[in-house]
């Protein structure tokens, strides 16, 4: 099926943004669309809007740019009512969206609403207000995050999953619809411009590559004529070596080159063995370089030398997501079980390296002082006698006396919980929120 007929109007939400403007140019240049209605929150006041209109007009198109939040049903209805009968609405491309990334418990109602309204509310209003207009195309710009999941994008994934479901809903009612779960575009857009180097590095490690613009537009054309409700135009390179697992949905496409976990265990043993052969003065430097190397990878830096060892993790750009990724990578390299808050408890590469070194190398045990040895030996003998008591009343009396003795020894002070005790009693969601509060996001 061809893309929208040249004689009708094509509505593009987010039409003055990077993707919307690219789609508008493509429809005019490649498919001879002559009537465009571009809506966005900024409308004609958006950066580059005047130049875009001039370019499209010079190419022979009639272009209307209107300020409208598609999540506002009444405002959207007014805009649709303004479409002239001489060029009736024939297609909708919903390309609007916004990002508010963060760990789940850091997503306030306001941050959720900002993302979901641009996706969910706007898409539903477009569906309701156009379902009786005989459209030839209804294209929803979704995201690969709704299919495979991307770190820190729970709200964005949810909003785009709704678009995927809406496309199925429309198809079930014999209405045109396709939801395109885009991967990363190579060109800079309002959304991709907000990605940090660490975000891009994380995507690259899971195999997600940016789509060249022309390739993405070719996939868009295929989407217009697709006979499916949901497609995922994304480029995953799963052939090369990676230091992170691909998304769970795609792991069946990857052939492992080594037994699972074997390499990690060997690396951990190798690090421990290497440390034991080094002079004590060199051990901390070695572990610190490991921390710097893993942190450089997580943050997308050029190498360990690009990570100042005594700067705080927050100043270096670590956020809640990259903090957890760093913890996981160090756990793999060292073979240690690390708490979720390890980068918060030891908030610089040097401090963290010292903590890891203490865990990796055997620490000399202090010899008990002479007066302690007879006391401990006497307690051992007493323990044997106590455990041999079978009389119930006597056991109860002994238990009470032992509690009294323990209370006397502790001088009436309640033992303070250790950090590990507190972490064990804390939920994963609370830990995410704690790291977000303390480290923040750049």
- 279 and 150 housed in the same domain: no
Tell whether 83 and 206 lie within a shared domain: yes
Rounded Cα distance, 65 and 43, in Å: 6
More confidently predicted of 404 and 356? 356
Q: What is the pLDDT of residue 264?
A: 47
- Are both 310 and 428 inside the same structural domain? yes
What CATH number has the domain bearing residue 321? 1.10.1200.10
Q: Are residues 227 and 279 in the same domain?
A: no
**Would 27 be classed as within a structural domain?**
yes
Q: Are 198 and 294 in contact (CB under 8 A)?
A: no
Q: What digits encode the pLDDT tens for the residues 59-82?
A: 999 999 999 999 999 999 999 999
- Model pLDDT, residue 395: 72
Asked whether residue 184 falls in the same domain as residue 269, the answer is no
SS3 72: coil
At 95-123, the pLDDT tens digits run 998 877 766 767 788 888 888 999 999 99
Q: Say yes or no: 299 and 230 in one domain.
A: no
pLDDT, position 249: 72
The whole-number pLDDT of residue 145 equals 87
Domain shared by 172 and 283, yes or no: no
Phi/psi at 143 (5° precision): -140, 150
* Per-residue model confidence (pLDDT) at position 376: 74
Write down the mean pLDDT value for the chain. 82
Residues 46 and 143 in one domain: yes
Q: Distance of CA 317 to CAs 196, 205, 399, Å?
A: 9, 18, 54
pLDDT (mean) for 152-180 = 93
Count of the separate structural domains present in the chain: 2
The range of the structural domain enclosing residue 94 comes to 9-236
**Is 83 among the domain residues?**
yes
CA torsion 216-218-222-228 (nearest 10°) is -10
**Per-residue pLDDT band at 415 (split at 50, 70, 90):** very low
pLDDT bin (cut points 50, 70, 90) of residue 14 is very high
267-288 mean pLDDT: 84
Considering the domain architecture, whether residues 328 and 195 belong to the same structural domain is answered as no
211 shares its domain with 78? yes
Evaluate whether residue 333 is within a structural domain: yes
Residues 190 and 52 in one domain: yes
Given a cut of 90, whether residue 217 has pLDDT beyond it is yes
pLDDT of residue 123: 97
Q: Give me the mean pLDDT over the 208-230 stretch.
A: 92
The domain spanning residue 44 has which CATH number? 3.40.50.720
Q: Which candidate, 401, 382, 385, 403, places its Cα nearest to that of 393?
A: 401
Give the per-residue pLDDT at 432: 56
């Amino acid at each position: 099926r061809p893309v929208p007929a040249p004689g009708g109007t094509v509505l593009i939400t987010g039409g003055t943004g990077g993707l919307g403007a690219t789609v508008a140019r493509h429809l005019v240049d490649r498919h001879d669309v002559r009537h465009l209605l571009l809506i966005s929150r900024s409308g004609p006041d958006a950066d580059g809007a005047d130049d875009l209109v001039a370019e499209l007009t010079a190419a022979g198109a009639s272009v209307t740019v209107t300020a409208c939040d598609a999540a506002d049903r009444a405002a959207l209805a007014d805009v649709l009512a303004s479409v002239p009968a001489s060029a009736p609405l024939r297609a909708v491309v919903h390309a609007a969206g916004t990002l508010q990334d963060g760990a789940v418990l850091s997503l306030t109602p306001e941050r959720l609403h900002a993302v979901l309204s641009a996706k969910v509310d706007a898409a539903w209003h477009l569906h309701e207000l156009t379902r009786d207009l005989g459209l030839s195309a209804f294209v929803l710009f979704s995201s690969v995050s709704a299919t495979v999941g991307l770190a820190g994008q729970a709200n964005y994934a949810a909003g785009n999953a709704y678009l995927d479901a809406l496309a199925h809903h429309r198809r079930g009612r014999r209405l045109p619809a396709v939801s395109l779960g885009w991967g990363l575009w190579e060109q800079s857009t309002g959304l991709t411009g907000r990605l940090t180097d660490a975000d891009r590095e994380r995507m690259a490690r899971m195999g997600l590559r940016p789509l060249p613009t022309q390739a993405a537009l070719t996939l868009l054309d295929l989407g217009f004529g697709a006979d499916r409700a949901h497609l995922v135009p994304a480029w995953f390179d799963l052939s090369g070596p990676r230091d992170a697992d691909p998304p769970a949905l795609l792991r069946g496409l990857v052939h492992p080159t080594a037994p699972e976990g074997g390499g990690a265990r060997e690396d951990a043993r190798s690090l421990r063995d290497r440390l034991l052969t080094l002079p004590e003065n060199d051990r901390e430097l070695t572990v610190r370089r490991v921390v710097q190397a893993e942190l450089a990878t997580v943050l997308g830096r050029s190498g360990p030398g690009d990570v100042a060892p005594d700067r705080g993790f927050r100043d270096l750009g670590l956020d809640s997501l990259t903090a957890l990724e760093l913890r996981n990578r160090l756990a793999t390299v060292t073979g240690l079980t690390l708490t979720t808050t390890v980068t918060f408890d030891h908030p610089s590469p040097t401090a963290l390296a010292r903590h890891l070194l203490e865990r990796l190398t055997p620490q000399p045990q202090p010899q008990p002082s002479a007066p302690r040895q007879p006391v401990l030996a006497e307690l051992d003998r007493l323990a044997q006698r106590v455990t041999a008591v079978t009389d119930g009343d006597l056991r109860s009396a002994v238990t009470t006396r032992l509690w009294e003795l323990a209370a006397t020894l502790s001088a009436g002070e309640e033992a303070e919980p250790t950090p590990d005790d507190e972490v064990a009693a804390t939920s994963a969601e609370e830990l995410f929120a704690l790291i977000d509060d303390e480290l923040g996001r750049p």
